[in-house]
Copies of this chain bind each other. A is one copy, B any other.
Amino acid sequence: MKDKELTTEQKIKYVQDTLFVISGKWKLPILIAMNQGCYRFRDIQRSVLPITTRVLSRELKDLEENKLVIRTVYDAPKTVEYTVSPYCKSLKPLVDEMIKWGQNHRRKISGK
């Protein structure tokens, strides 16, 4: 954890791991929407339109496997709830950086 001396290969591997978890068209948008308070399947879908149920279902499963979201089923009445896990908060610095960089990049490219 304190070892900053990673080889290039290791750096590449870790970056690819990260990309693998968060890339794709929808994963981060879904997480952002969920952080905004959406927790029902339908609510999430509406927030991240135009995602289809098939894709949303798949993405939520991936996120669950990566321990970023938690799926809870309640009986009586039967409902399903998705919530971001505590671990998901560890993504915040990364996402914030991405927002910042993307915002700046848009200026850089279109403005110039």
| A106 within 8 A of partner (CB) | yes
- The answer to whether B23 and A99 have CB atoms under 8 Å apart is no
Report whether A8 and B32 are in contact in the complex, using a CB–CB cutoff of 8 Å.
yes
Please tell me if the beta carbons of A98 and B18 are within 8 angstroms of each other in the complex.
yes
Residue-wise interface mask of A (5-47) relative to B, using a CB-CB cutoff of 8 A (1 in contact, 0 not): 0101011111111110111010011001100100000000001
Whether A19 contacts B98 in the complex (CB less than 8 A), given A11-B32, A12-B32, A66-B109, comes out as yes
- Known: A11-B32, A33-B8. Contact between A16 and B91, CB under 8 A? no
Are B104 and A90 in touch, CB under 8 angstroms?
yes
* A80: min CB distance to chain B, Å: 22
A77 sits at the interface (CB 8 A): no
List A85-107 residues whose CB lies under 8 Å from chain B: 87, 90-91, 93-95, 97-106
A15 touches B91 (CB 8 A): no
Tell me, yes or no, whether A54 is within 8 Å of chain B by CB: no
